[in-house]
Structure 1
Amino acid sequence: MSRKQKADLTLLAVAICFIGSSAALYFHPAWWTRLLFYMTEAGLVGGLADWYAVTALFRHPLGIASKHTAIIPRNRIKLIDGVVTMVETQLLPPDRLKEKLSDITIMDTVIEWIDDRFPRGALGAAGWKWATSLLAKFDFSRIAAGWDSQLKQLLRRTDITPYAGKALNALLEHGNIHVWLDRIIEEIEKRTSSPEAKAFILQLLQKEHEKQLNVGNAFTRFLKKAASIFAEESDALNLEDAAEALYRDLGQFIQDLKRHDHKLRLLLIDTLRRLAADLNQNRELAATIEEWKLEVLERITLAPSIEALLAALKNLPADAEEQPAPELQEDTGQQQPATAAPSSGLLGLRSGLSNLIENYWAQFKQDEAKKLWIEGYIKSFLTTVIDKEHRLIGQIVRDTLNAFTEKRLIAFIEDKVGEDLSRIRINGSLVGAGIGALLYTFLHGIYDPLLRLLGL
């Protein structure tokens, strides 16, 4: 049962009691029937007065229109203006907003919220997921073309020689140059160990042989060809054997290069060190590199590679792992279908970005100076907004209340204060009954005896 229903039942009960006390006083006049009549009469008057007052706030009591009823609907504009003024000048004035803003620590709240929402390890995955979802909304071909153009323009304007020297120095000092050389040698070994490499050596020897036979005048060329035929017939000149020997020597040479103390490796490293120093000082070398850079930029396009990289990043899930090799089913011996595994490079990029986000977040939480700077910047920005846009608070309140229809406004106010208004009505009946009892006690217990005592 709602408070309003209780108030209506209370008023009805007081009205019934008033009728009953009136009948009791008429048929059986006595002190207690008079007391009951006084109480119910005063309670009924108080209850009716409060019912009329509360009802008159929202509508016309009993449908009778008056300039003193339906106060809220008739004064809707004044009410909205009053609420707006109260919010702007009393509840949320600029000075109070600035005072509250200075009391709170924005960054601590933000850090606590992020830590609660993203436990250790989840922030990096969320960052990667956000990045890939953002990529899914882009036109990769257009972006790749734009990035290709901007990257080329940046490279054209930038002198890469100092950066190349620094990068080469860093590689020599911290990058374990022998690891890179081992990879290069392994790649060379793969390419030279194939039968095609031996055929290529034989082809080079044959071309050089033909070239030497055709150098000189006619008589010299005749003598060379005759000597060549004689050497081949006597097996003194065998290009296939020479190619085989060169092929074996090349393989042995590559095997020797795998030793870290090989003289050629050491000479190459020393040459790279001198080259790194020259890159920062030798202007002629710098000019040569600049010319080579411009020539390369004119010939190549990075757009396809950028587009392929963006597409691969978009399709790489946040929880992607290395896929195991396909296994054979025991019962059928058929190969199980498997989805394409992401490349190790993309997985490494995802892992690197996730670790970067996690490490930066951990460092940021420990950097009090940076947090204070961001806190100050945010508060300064919000203070400026308060000074310039404080009127928007009142405008928002005004627009919100103006959107309310008359019925909706009445329902809204009744929903917020209806319980208190109904309590006032109940108290009106109860307080009225109490006042009636006091009046009866005063009139018949003090006033009447005093008049009789005075002979009046």
Structure 2
Amino acid sequence: MQKKNKANLALGLSAAGFLGTFALPESFVAGMVHHGFLAATIGGLADWFAVTAIFRKPLGIAYRTDILRRNRSRIMEALVVYASEDLLSTENIMSVLEKQNTAQLLAEYFIHRGGRERVHQVVRGVLLKAVNDLDSCRIAEELAPAIHQGLSSFAFEDILPEILHLLTKKEHTEQLVNSLATISGQVIDSPALRQALLAHIRVLRESYEKDSAGRAFVLASMGLTDEKILTMLVTRVKARLAQLQQHGVTAGSDLHTGLVTMLYSLSQDERLRDLLRDKKEKLLEQVDLTSMIARWLEENIKGENPFWLPHVQAYVDGLIDKFIGSAEWQAKFDRSVKDFLRDELTKHHGLIPGIIRERLDEFSDDELVTFVEDKVQDDLQMIRINGSVVGALVGMGLYVLITLTERMWGL
């Protein structure tokens, strides 16, 4: 049962009891009960009138009733002042926030509430959206001149001779020979090279035999076919390469001297520098850098899973882990958040009264009455119930007191 119905029931029972006790024979108990019901009825009616007068005109009486409508502007202004300057003052808000450890709350969010994954989603979404919305052609057009200038000024024709000169040192020469021997061994086994060598052997053999039938007879009697000659040549070359790989090149040997001389000569050859410079310039003229850069951006930077995204996520994870494990970082974060909130509240606290006033102005008089009555109705109805109960107790108490006084004084 709603408290309003309970209050009405209490008032009705009080009135019914008052009327019903008129018929009781005169006695102390009957008088006490009758006056108790009378006082309960009076108290209940008084409280009903007072409560009703806040929201409307009880019994049509207009004098000092309908308080909420009559004093709306004054009441609203008092509410605005109370809410903004007392309840929602900067100091009150900050006193509540100061009790909270915002850094610890954030760390708990990262660890137990999926905060890390949420940060990854946000970072991924924002970065992919920003990158995929980039105009690759425009960026390529802006970057191409700078890259072209950088490549043009890059003295590759000076670097390669320096590398060749560096290779003349013994330790580098040995490594170079070993690498060349390994590569040569792989090349000599390739079918394409063997076919080319076989063709050259055939040409040489035919040239050797055409001027003398005896030469052909000698080769045939020795079983030196083109394939056998090729096999002997390949075997000899591979044996020499294996020897080079096993023992290296001896300093001062013909191979070492020849290789060093060749490398040094190339490193000092101005024609090589000019050739490299010309090749670089022609290549830069032929290459469409703008298209290459735009294509590279589209294929590598953009997309749903670009190469750089895992590195960004790893970096974010590192920051989160450092924040969780660093008391210093957490203290700085907590202080920064609270200082920021305090500054913002101080700067914009003047907006709070306007927001509250704007919200209250949205209510019409009837809507405001209904809104307030719904919020405080239960408490006000309890006042009515308590008024009837207290009235009954006071009425019976006064009746007992008056009766005792009359008997004591013989009235």
Identify the TM-score tier after normalising by the shorter chain. Answer: 0.5 to 0.7
The alignment yields a C-alpha RMSD, in angstroms, of: 4.9
Query: 2:247, 2:53 → 1: CA distance?
Result: 104
Of the structure 1 ranges 77-86 and 362-371, higher mean CA displacement relative to structure 2 is found in: 362-371
**2:124–2:309 Cα contact (<8 Å) kept:** no
Query: 2:293, 2:233 → 1: CA distance?
Result: 39
**1:198–1:244 Cα contact (<8 Å) kept:** no
Residue aligning to 1:7: 7
Of the structure 1 ranges 384-393 and 44-53, higher mean CA displacement relative to structure 2 is found in: 384-393
2:121 pairs, out of 129, 136, 140, with: 129
Query: 2:246, 2:143 → 1: CA distance?
Result: 38
Indicate whether 1:449 and 2:407 are aligned.
yes
Structure-2 change in CA distance of 1:368 and 1:261 (3 Å): farther
Q: Cα deviations across residues 407-445 of structure 1 (Å, max 9, x unaligned)?
A: 433333233322211110001001111111112112221
Shift of the alpha carbon at 1:152?
Answer: 5.5
Q: Give the length in aligned residue pairs.
A: 342
Q: Cα deviations across residues 82-105 of structure 1 (Å, max 9, x unaligned)?
A: 111112222122233344444432
**1:128–1:350 Cα contact (<8 Å) kept:** no
Query: 2:377, 2:240 → 1: CA distance?
Result: 98
Residue aligning to 1:50: 47
Structure-2 change in CA distance of 1:143 and 1:36 (3 Å): same
Residue aligning to 1:394: 353
Shift of the alpha carbon at 1:193?
Answer: 7.8
**2:84–2:353 Cα contact (<8 Å) kept:** yes
Structure-2 change in CA distance of 1:308 and 1:247 (3 Å): farther
Shift of the alpha carbon at 1:452?
Answer: 2.6
Query: 2:148, 2:370 → 1: CA distance?
Result: 70
Structure-2 change in CA distance of 1:383 and 1:138 (3 Å): closer
Shift of the alpha carbon at 1:403?
Answer: 2.3
Q: Cα deviations across residues 260-316 of structure 1 (Å, max 9, x unaligned)?
A: 9988xxxxxxxxxxxxxxxxxxxxxxxx9xx99x9589466322232234554x2x5
Query: 2:183, 2:55 → 1: CA distance?
Result: 90
Shift of the alpha carbon at 1:32?
Answer: 2.5
Residue aligning to 1:379: 338
Q: Percent identity?
A: 25
Equivalent residues in 2 for 1:402-413, closer than 5 Å: 402-413=361-372
**2:56–2:65 Cα contact (<8 Å) kept:** yes
**2:38–2:395 Cα contact (<8 Å) kept:** yes
Shift of the alpha carbon at 1:397?
Answer: 2.0
Query: 2:147, 2:45 → 1: CA distance?
Result: 89
Structure-2 change in CA distance of 1:78 and 1:368 (3 Å): same
Give the 3-state SS of the residue equivalent to 1:40 in structure 2.
Answer: helix
Structure-2 change in CA distance of 1:54 and 1:228 (3 Å): same
Q: Cα deviations across residues 117-141 of structure 1 (Å, max 9, x unaligned)?
A: 12xxx82x54443344446656836
Give the 3-state SS of the residue equivalent to 1:66 in structure 2.
Answer: coil
Indicate whether 1:140 and 2:132 are aligned.
yes
Residue aligning to 1:112: 108
Residue aligning to 1:280: none
Structure-2 change in CA distance of 1:135 and 1:104 (3 Å): closer
Structure-2 change in CA distance of 1:298 and 1:261 (3 Å): farther
1:78 pairs, out of 74, 81, 87, with: 74
**1:135–1:310 Cα contact (<8 Å) kept:** no
Of the structure 1 ranges 240-249 and 135-144, higher mean CA displacement relative to structure 2 is found in: 240-249
Query: 1:91, 1:261 → 2: CA distance?
Result: 92
Give the 3-state SS of the residue equivalent to 2:363 in structure 1.
Answer: coil
Residue aligning to 1:16: 16
AA partner of residue 416 (structure 1): K
Query: 1:300, 1:93 → 2: CA distance?
Result: 61
Structure-2 change in CA distance of 1:40 and 1:300 (3 Å): same
**2:144–2:290 Cα contact (<8 Å) kept:** no
Structure-2 change in CA distance of 1:407 and 1:451 (3 Å): same
Structure-2 change in CA distance of 1:228 and 1:4 (3 Å): same
Shift of the alpha carbon at 1:377?
Answer: 2.8
